[in-house]
């Protein structure tokens, strides 16, 4: 049997994790696959042949991306040229819509079936992008149920596949076991600090997050502080920020293990993004803070490209603002610390949030792998790549 050649691009750790699970799901199907493109360790472990380091694409923001733009455009041109010269049977872009959608559009125009995995957050910012999605992809695999109606309304062919984490994580997280694995005591509360998975995020959020941690520990002297980092390089940089901004704080820094840390925590201080979903699925109440480059934020506000009421994924899924959200100039210790301390000192409120998060988690538990395989197989059959 000839191998089905699949081109893929993921741009950051969360996309690589989803990509690794997607490749594993496809390989469980009774077909022979060949994967090539851009991804990280999880996708490489599933047999992806790497064409460029994933770190090349890990850039966020409007103004932050400027100095990287020539290299990014050159990389995309190289990928387009490669895959037009030898078209794959399928292209899958994993998140990173600003990079992947133009690439998908060119390949689709050349007759390559295209899939985008993870709906761009058009419900939160730059809603006009939905038209670019419609012209670029044959199928969108969306992770969250509230996205389906929006996509259908705008004529985007989609399939709700759920989020793999909802399937993998227990509905009853073992907090005691998580603390034991991290060498934390059960007697004192735990604050998880998650300042992001990119260097730019960490550098901006380190000062307000660390100052917040200091204020909280002054109020609760036994408070245990833990930070999970996506990789060793970020962990090294985070430790340097800790030494610079809060040398007196006993912050335990671990590589990976974000779900263990969130399960162990009483409360989390989290950068907006995928970490808010992880916190919800780990039953961890959270306070969300975020900052982007001031010029980026100014442009987003002027052009009305951002809806601040719909930024936090956990709040959208819970259908109520359970996670206080402090963005840009509000993302300071003066604003963050009272919100964090409220959770640490109000167990009744915390338990209500945990119960709501468990309901959401239960609703999100679907067979993601089976849905992905079925949706992609049907697309390939419709396009004549697979026989019915």
The per-residue pLDDT for 370 is 92
Which tokens hold the place of 275?
Answer: 């970490």
**Cβ proximity of 6 and 35 under 8 Å:** yes
- 340 Cβ contact list (under 8 Å, min separation 6): 191, 212, 216, 267, 269, 287
The 10s digit of each residue's pLDDT in 332-381 is: 999 999 999 999 999 999 999 999 999 999 989 999 999 999 999 999 99
How many whole angstroms separate alpha carbon 96 and alpha carbon 82?
20
Rounded to two decimals, the pTM is 0.76
Strands (E), 298-352: 325-327
Residue (of 110, 118, 87) closest to 7 by Cα position: 87
* Distance (Å) of CA 89 to CA 16, 20, 107, 110, 368: 21, 19, 11, 11, 22
Q: Tokens 């005591």 label which residue? A: 185
The 10s digit of each residue's pLDDT in 295-330 is: 655 555 544 445 445 578 899 889 889 999 998 788
Query: 236: number of CA atoms within 13 Å, CB side?
Result: 3
How many whole angstroms separate alpha carbon 186 and alpha carbon 37?
45
Q: Mean pLDDT score of the chain, rounded to an integer? A: 88
**Cβ proximity of 91 and 107 under 8 Å:** yes
**Quick one: pLDDT band at residue 68, thresholds 50, 70, 90?**
low
The 10s digit of each residue's pLDDT in 237-296 is: 999 999 999 999 999 999 989 999 999 999 999 998 788 999 999 999 999 998 876 665
Q: Which domains are assigned to the chain?
A: 4-162+366-382 (3.40.50.2000), 175-364 (3.40.50.2000)
């Amino acid at each position: 049997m000839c191998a089905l050649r699949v081109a893929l691009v993921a741009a950051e750790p969360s996309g690589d994790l989803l990509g690794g699970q997607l490749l594993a799901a496809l390989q469980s199907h009774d077909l022979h696959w060949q994967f090539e493109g851009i991804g990280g360790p999880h996708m490489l472990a599933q047999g992806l042949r790497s064409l460029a380091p994933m770190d090349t694409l890990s850039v966020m923001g409007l103004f932050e991306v400027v100095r990287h733009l020539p290299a990014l455009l050159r990389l995309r041109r190289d990928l387009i040229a490669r895959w037009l010269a030898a078209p794959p049977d399928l292209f899958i872009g994993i998140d990173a819509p600003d990079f992947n959608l133009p690439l998908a559009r060119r390949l689709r125009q050349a007759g390559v079936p295209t899939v985008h995995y993870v709906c761009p957050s058009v419900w939160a910012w730059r809603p006009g992008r939905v038209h670019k999605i419609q012209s670029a992809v044959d199928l969108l695999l969306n992770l969250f149920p509230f996205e389906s109606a929006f996509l259908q309304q705008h004529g985007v062919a989609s399939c709700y596949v759920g989020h793999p984490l909802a399937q993998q994580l227990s509905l009853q997280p073992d907090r005691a076991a998580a603390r034991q694995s991290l060498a934390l005591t059960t007697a004192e509360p735990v604050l998880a600090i998650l300042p992001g998975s990119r260097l730019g995020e960490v550098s901006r959020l380190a000062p307000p997050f660390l100052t917040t941690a200091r204020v909280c520990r002054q109020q609760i002297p036994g408070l245990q502080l833990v930070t999970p980092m996506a990789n060793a390089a970020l962990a090294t940089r985070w430790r340097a920020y800790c030494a610079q901004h809060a040398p007196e704080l006993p912050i335990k820094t671990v590589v990976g293990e974000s779900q263990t840390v969130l399960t162990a925590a009483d409360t989390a201080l989290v950068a907006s993004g995928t970490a808010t979903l992880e916190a919800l699925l780990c039953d961890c109440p959270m306070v969300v803070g975020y900052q982007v480059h001031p010029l980026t934020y100014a442009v987003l506000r002027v052009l009305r490209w951002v809806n601040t009421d719909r930024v936090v994924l956990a709040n959208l899924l819970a259908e109520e603002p359970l996670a206080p959200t402090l963005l840009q100039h509000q993302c300071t210790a003066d604003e963050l610390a009272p919100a964090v301390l409220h959770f640490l000192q109000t167990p009744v409120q915390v338990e209500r949030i945990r119960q709501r998060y468990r309901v959401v988690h239960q609703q999100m538990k679907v067979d993601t792998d089976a849905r992905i395989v079925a949706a992609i197989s049907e697309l390939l059959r419709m396009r004549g790549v697979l026989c019915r």
